[in-house]
């Protein structure tokens, strides 16, 4: 397959693409994203489209992938925490309850300057055990929450507190790897069975 351009600086998304054997290089536009949408699936679709679009604007040929992740609970959208108090408040909200993680993905395949665009959002439901205040403080002390939507990473020490998920695990990490693979296959970016 041709090399993919990952329009995201997230080391977790890069690791997931590597895990499923998709070659890529990272190009981050540096341009800001912004949305007026209010529904989590709409927000992540639009922000992923902006991330991919900014990078795709600069190329004539190639496949660009953008992604954006938020956490949603009871109508509120939780992004990355502003500070420790914000992270603590988010973790207290997640304690003992279900929430959803939404990742939006946009794939732009350009050939001779013409673009085909595919955008989708993927939801995973996550149930968190009841958290004791000491557990929250210990987790904040690890520094793990501060660069992550919803103030936790499922692939780190917070795994001790995740009771159950429904959906794609890697979507919670930041990229729905299986859905990305299947979509790249559907778009013909990854080869079809030739047997």
Name the residues that contact its own copies, by CB under 8 A.
16, 19-21, 129, 132-135, 154-157, 159-170, 177-178, 181-182, 192-195
Look up 112 and say whether it is catalytic.
Answer: no
Nearer to its own copies, 121 or 177 (CB): 177
d(CA 160, CA 76): 24
**Do residues 66 and 72 lie in contact, with contact meaning Cβ atoms separated by under 8 Å?**
no
Shortest distance in whole angstroms from residue 47 CB to its own copies: 24
Distance of closest approach, residue 35 Cβ to its own copies, in angstroms:
27
Q: Quick one: 21 or 30, whose CB is closer to its own copies?
A: 21
- Cβ at position 139, least distance to its own copies in Å: 10
The Cα–Cα gap between 115 and 94 comes to 40
Give the integer Cα–Cα distance in Å for 67 and 108. 12
Name the catalytic one among 68, 83, 147, 163.
68
30: nearest Cα among 6, 60, 59, 7: 7
Residues that are catalytic? 68
């Amino acid at each position: 397959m041709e090399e993919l351009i990952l329009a995201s600086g997230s080391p977790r998304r890069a690791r997931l693409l590597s895990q499923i054997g998709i070659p890529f290089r990272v190009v981050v536009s540096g341009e800001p994203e912004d949305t007026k949408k209010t529904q989590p699936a709409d927000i992540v679709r639009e922000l992923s489209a902006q991330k991919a679009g900014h990078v795709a604007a600069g190329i004539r040929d190639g496949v660009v992938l953008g992604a954006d992740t938020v956490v949603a609970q009871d109508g509120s959208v939780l992004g990355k925490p502003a500070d420790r108090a914000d992270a603590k408040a988010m973790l207290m909200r997640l304690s003992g309850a279900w929430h959803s993680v939404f990742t939006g993905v946009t794939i732009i395949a350009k050939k001779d300057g013409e673009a085909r665009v595919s955008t989708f959002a993927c939801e995973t439901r996550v149930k968190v055990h009841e958290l004791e205040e000491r557990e929250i403080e210990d987790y904040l002390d690890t520094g793990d929450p501060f660069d992550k939507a919803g103030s936790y990473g499922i692939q780190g020490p917070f795994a001790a507190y995740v009771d159950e998920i429904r959906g794609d695990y890697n979507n919670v990490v930041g990229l729905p790897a299986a859905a990305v693979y299947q979509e790249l296959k559907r778009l013909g970016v990854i080869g079809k069975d030739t047997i």
